[in-house]
Structure 1
Amino acid sequence: MAPPRRLTSMSIALAAAAAVFAVTLLVLEGQRGAEPGVANAAGRPGPDQIITEAEQRVAADPRFAPGLTKLAEGYFARAGATGNPAWLTKAEDAGRRAVRADPEAFEAMDALASIAASRHRFREALMWTQRSLAVAPTRVAPLSIRTDALIELGRYDEGFKLAQTRLDLRPDLPSYSRASYVRELIGDRAGAVRLMELAIDAAAQNSDSRATARAQLGLVLLAGGDLAGAERQVRTALAEVPGDTNATFVLARVSAARGDLEEAAELFSQVAAELPEPDHLAALAEVERALGRTEAAERHEAAMRAAFDLLEANGQDVDLDAALLTVDLRRPTTADVARARRGQAARPGIAGDQALGWVLTRAGRCAEGDRYASRSLRLGTQDPLMLFHAGMAAACAGRPAVARDRLTAALELNPAFSVRWAPIARKELARLPR
């Protein structure tokens, strides 16, 4: 599976959480005690084999903690492979049974931390990593999960420091990828590229991890407007791992940025068929609308809402992401604003500030929207969609000079950052007084 990643059609700020599932799944994929960076080495059992063997052992002894832990790992891996969050519910049940059977089952605690993080329940993830480290303090796997949770909670000093600690302890694929993400968050794109190149070099040849690392690098390059570089990375990934979903998703974004919407729609369709996750369906709907295929777009938007409902029914906190994607489709309601506020309270970092700022701006609450949008830029993140949101918020709040600076920066980074919103950014710039 993938290293830590930010594969999403939204923005860097939101992507860390949207992709935590794949980040933390690596902790669980390998053999007992294995680290995430080698989770895909040849000969490792897949989810089906893990589940079959674990179910047999648990059937013989329902309180056998190692078997229950393996069962949690296998269910979690199956959730990642299928995109079906119902497997997360089964994984959590197995993990909790393991901890009840053995209160020092630290690997089960790691599994539960990963499940919580994948559901965007980051405070719960921190609790489980704290318990795991109290039992077995010398391992790096819980540090990875803990880093992700701290960053999503806006505890950047702690999260960035822990990312560096992880890198110092073990300079491997997940460490390099997290360090790359830190550099991207603070606006150091060149540093982010260098570290992702090291992550690729650290991955096994022709592995899923290597393919996804290339896809991550493709996204970094794409956000900076280097479409050719992004395409080279993902086509190399697809040559090494044909059909890789992450690389196909990034290739679809490259095609959309180039204006080849038919190809983008075809590629997004492949991704959504494989993993019908909300951001995949939203990206597909956006392209279908741009092609004038309203009926198809509405169908995918309905599927997106159903996907959110399924995630929520299986324990995921979807408030922030659902509010953000929903208000891209229509003017926000009072309920949408309330949902975004809940989401920001649960994730009070730049992701939460960006999403709430955009929802408030779209709702016409301009001063408050501008305040949150401005806060979302506090790390210096150079993400075009984030800058666009902040630019539109400033324009709404009557700050044309600030709006112009932000919108110009978004378009200079990537003139085709969004099929829908890049043209709006250009129109708004033309409208703003000089």
Structure 2
Amino acid sequence: MEIDQDARRDTPQHSPAPQDSPAPQDSPAPRRRRAPSARRVLLASVAGSVVLAGVVTLVPLLAAESAPPALGPVGRAQAAYGAGVPAALPDLAALIGDREAHVRRHPADEESWAVLGSAYVEQGRRTADLTYLAKADDALKRSLATRSGEAGNVEALAGMAVLANARRDYAAAKKYGEAAAAKAPERWTLYPQLIDAYTGLGDDKAVGKALEKLQELRSGSAVMARTAQVYRDRGWREDSAAHLYDAAALAETPAEQAAYQHRFGELLFERGEPEQALRYFEAALRTEPEHHASLAGKGRAQRALGRTSEAMVSYQAAIAKQPRPEYALELGELYESLGMEPASQAQYEQLRARVEEESAVGVNDALVLGRFEADHGDPEAAVRRLTAEYKRQPGREVSDALGWALHRAGKSKKALGYAKRAMKDGPMSALFAYHRGEIERQIGKYGAARRHLEQALRINPHFSPLLAPYAQEALDALGEPPEGGPENMHGKGTQPTEPTAPTPTPAPVNSAPAAPSSSPKPTGTPSASPSPSPAATRSPSKSAAPSKSPERPLRSPDPADERGPKISPSGA
């Protein structure tokens, strides 16, 4: 199979990293198999790797016989993919155009079809243009029709795993990812896709094994960032921040640096530090103006700081550039918290319309739609939807959402098991803690309810414009722990005589807003004693042993730090 001359000019021929941007010395190049024939040149191989949630990457298999040409946009995209980091959007567009032209001339080139399919997925995810997901499906199926996965078309299998993760079809991502890994177990870029799939399926053991294999095969910024995400999902936020900081020290491109600045901003917001989070979101946008997810992060932080007008503008810009249903839900709830009912209803309608559009190209939005229905629509419909989703993909996010929907539908005793599962060895989530606290309060577990409501507000007092005030109201309604010591606090002794206050949760659509609790409140102030961190009581796996130091505030890296200031919110 010959390479056309215009593609040769932009395609590096022997190394995934350009000569003028050498890979870190601790990041050995991925292993490659030689082509069976001297005439056969491997154009590029798709082996998707998500550096952070929402970043799809490719890995080229490049011939080693000829000297590398000067890198143009296509070559830069190939080099970025080979390093497991995101490419700049203009370079990605150039790669797509190059491969489209190539497959028109060489329609039997299964490898270029696979490259094109995975590039379409990344373009679709980062621009929210759903036509790219449909194009990706066609290109990858064309590749498999030319050469099947059983015959060794690992590139197309990996691309199908990338597409399935983008559609949030984690069972399919697992199937394709494991099939690819069985054919090419040393290809490191397969394992981030498997980690995403196993996380969505709630298989923590498989996540740990995939991370072990990834760390065994590769080091460098992409692996550090992936490790940071796994640690965050386990609730080890301080260790997550340390790995993310180290990844940033090795960042070589603006797209990569913006991704790490954005993730650092998310960590800071999750810790209830919106002012610091805002600095990082703004830095990501200065580094890469097209990093649209940081517009939504910016709106989240501005809302927490009370800068609601600016928050609305940021959210509106994010939705205009990347109309994700999650952003419409967040903006709708911001409007609702301000009493702007028509504006909130408009956002909820936009959410429904976007879900319908995404469903047409195979995107699974059961989670966001179930959460929306539980708080703003029909809780019974949310239970049905999320029960089906849990049977397919029992990840922590779905477990939490199903528990909350059951509670909203009046089935709080059944809900508690799902709420507990969501928090077991999971992320330090204020939303999860609030949901569990309200469920426990409803069924009379007052000590546990008080503990989890306090935990929610301690983790992040700004976690939701609607629910955070309700969490404080619920905590005030519970008052101080009853006399009698820990036994009574945990509901094993005499229960309080007053009834629990009604759960202050959002009212369904088109109904009046829920009023603050009017039940008699015990005297005194809420207990402020901190509850143990879920992460502090577990034993880390051998492959991912975080430090045991107590959690400390995430710091802005010192520009004088010899490890590198690349994650600095200054964007320098």
Deviations 1:106-162 (A, max 9, x none): 112111100011111111111111222233221111111011111211110120232
* 1:151 partner SS: helix
- Quote the offset at 1:231 in angstroms: 2.4
Shift of 1:31: 2.1
Measure how far apart 1:353 and its partner are: 1.0
1:283/1:418 CA distance change after superposition, 3 Å: same
Check 1:317–1:39 CA distance in 2 against 1; reply closer, same or farther (3 A cut).
Answer: closer
In structure 2, the partner of 1:114 is 162
* Aligned mates of 2:123, 2:283 — CA distance in 1: 26
The TM-score with structure 2 as length reference comes to 0.68
2:55 maps to 23
Cα gap change, 1:391 to 1:299, in 2 (>3 Å)? same
Cα deviation for residue 36 of structure 1 reads: 5.1
Deviations 1:193-230 (A, max 9, x none): 1111122222224x122112111111111111222332
Q: Would you say the 8 A contact 2:77–2:92 is kept in 1? A: no
Instruction: State whether structure 2 residue 428 is matched by structure 1 residue 382.
Output: yes
Q: Report whether the alignment pairs 1:275 with 2:275.
A: no
State the Cα distance separating 1:4 from its structure 2 match.
Answer: 3.3
Q: Map Cα deviations across residues 272-292 of structure 1 (whole Å, 9 max, x no partner).
A: 000001011111111122233
Please, what TM-score do these two structures have when normalized by structure 1?
0.89
Kindly indicate whether the alpha-carbon contact (under 8 Å) linking 1:282 and 1:300 is maintained by their aligned counterparts in 2. Answer: yes
1:226 and 2:226 are equivalent in the alignment: no
Aligned to 2:224: 176
Equivalent residue, structure 1, for 2:339: 292
Larger radius of gyration: 2
Contact 2:257 2:284 in 1 (8 A): yes
- Say if 1:212 and 1:247, in contact at 8 Å, map to a contact too: no
The aligned residue for residue 59 of structure 1 is 104
**Alpha-carbon distance in 2 for matches of 1:396, 1:4:** 40
Alpha-carbon distance in structure 2 between the residues aligned to 1:158 and 1:143: 11
1:255-287 C-alpha deviation (Å, 9 max, x unpaired): 111121111111011100000010111111111
Q: What is the match of residue 236 of structure 2?
A: 188
The answer to whether 1:373 aligns with 2:419 is yes
Query: After superposition, where does 1:251-266 map in structure 2 within 5 Å?
Result: 251-266=298-313
Structure 1 Cα separation of the partners of residues 85 and 384 of structure 2: 42
Structure 2: runs of 5+ lacking an equivalent: 1-47, 61-75, 482-572
Q: Tell me if the contact between 2:58 and 2:81 (Cα under 8 Å) persists in the aligned partners.
A: no
Pick from 123, 130, 134 the counterpart of residue 89 of structure 1: 134
Which residues of structure 1 form unaligned runs of 5+? 6-18
| Correspondence 1:31-42 to 2 at 5 A | 31=78, 34-35=81-82, 37-40=84-87
Partner of 1:360: 406
Q: Which amino acid aligns with 1:134?
A: A
Bigger Cα displacement from structure 2, 48-57 vs 257-266: 48-57
The question of 1:246 aligning with 2:293 is answered yes
State which of 409, 426, 429 in structure 1 corresponds to 2:472.
426
1:406 paired with 2:452, answer: yes
Aligned partner letter, 2:185: P
1:76 has 2:121 as partner: yes
Q: Which amino acid aligns with 1:284?
A: L
Given the superposition, is the C-alpha separation of residues 183 and 73 from structure 1 closer, same or farther in structure 2, using an over 3 Å criterion? Answer: closer
Counterpart-to-counterpart distance in 2, 1:36 and 1:151: 23
Could you list the per-position Cα deviations for residues 223-263 of structure 1 after superposition, in whole angstroms to 9, with x for gaps in the alignment?
Answer: 11222332232232233223531222212111111121111
Partner Cα distance (1:31, 1:45) in 2: 13
- Closer, same or farther: CA 245–427 of 1 in aligned 2, 3 Å: same
**Partner AA of 1:108 in structure 2:** A
Distance 2:197 2:382 in 1: 25
RMSD: 2.3
Amino acid at match of 2:420: S
What whole-Å deviation, never above 9, does each CA across 1:177-196 have from its counterpart, x for those lacking one? 22112222222221111111
Query: Are residues 328 and 36 of structure 1, via their aligned partners in 2, closer, same or farther at CA, if it must alter by over 3 Å?
Result: farther
Shift of 1:369: 1.0
Q: Distance in 2 between matches of 1:57 and 1:181?
A: 36
Deviations 1:42-92 (A, max 9, x none): xx9734333333233333343321231233133223312320223212201
Question: One-letter code of the match for 1:239?
Answer: R
Partner of 2:15: none
In 2 relative to 1, CA 236–350 (structure 1 residues): closer, same or farther, beyond 3 Å? same
Q: Which amino acid aligns with 2:118?
A: E
| Shift in CA distance, 238/371, structure 1 to aligned 2, threshold 3 Å | same
CA distance in 2, matches of 1:338, 1:239: 43
For the structure 1 residues 284 and 63, does the alpha-carbon distance in structure 2 shift closer, same or farther, using more than 3 Å as the test? same
Q: Which amino acid aligns with 2:422?
A: S
